[in-house]
Amino acid sequence: MAKIIAIGGGGFTTLTSAGLDDFLLSHLNGTARRIGYVGTASDDDPVRLRYFHELIAPRVPHASVLSSNTGADDARQWATRHDMIYVGGGDTARMLTRWRQTGFDAALAEAHRNGTVLAGVSAGAVCWFEHALVRGESGAMEPISGLGLLKGSICAHFNADADRRPAFHEKIGSGVLPSGFGIDDGVAVVFRHGVPPAAWSAEPGCWAYGVNTDPDGSLLSVALPAFV
């Protein structure tokens, strides 16, 4: 069953919440265990690429990186060669624009349909949804449209900045965004077709929440069940 794993913040790219890396790799099944890293959102930040090569690549038989300069045909072929594709954080809007220009968005959707696990942190977590609340160039929290592989909306780093949680609540309560999920740093949420999303935390006191409104318009924020 194809999965999408959305991480609110942390893991190998930031050298925090290292347990997230163990949880991530536990979802690589079979003997191939091929993982690919996409750093478009950070313009292929060399420090994050080094962390991938040092902390993740030695733990799997095959690991590779998709350069942001890779042509459309080569990028699509690259996407088909992995059991898991992990997308790093950074500028979500810029990343999505680049993917749509090159057709890599369609390649990711096809890989997902064929069973590749899609995963990522921050920008790499929110990009899979219909809508996301992200920090814009002005510094304010702004809604954007994602790839639509998962329904609803999402906000990462839910506990990291004082304005994220209230902004997400306000956008959903006012109808600007549909119901969705807020994910704290140190937390991963696993989405599988036909199965309720479930959370796993590497940090005490951190979790993920489903946010929606009830019939009378009151806002509801409910902790997700734990992944088992």
Catalytic residues: 122, 157
CA distance from start to end of the chain: 16
HSE-CB of 14 using CA atoms within 13 angstroms? 18
The order of strands in the sheet holding 84-87 is 62-66, 34-38, 84-87, 117-121, 3-7, 187-192, 195-201
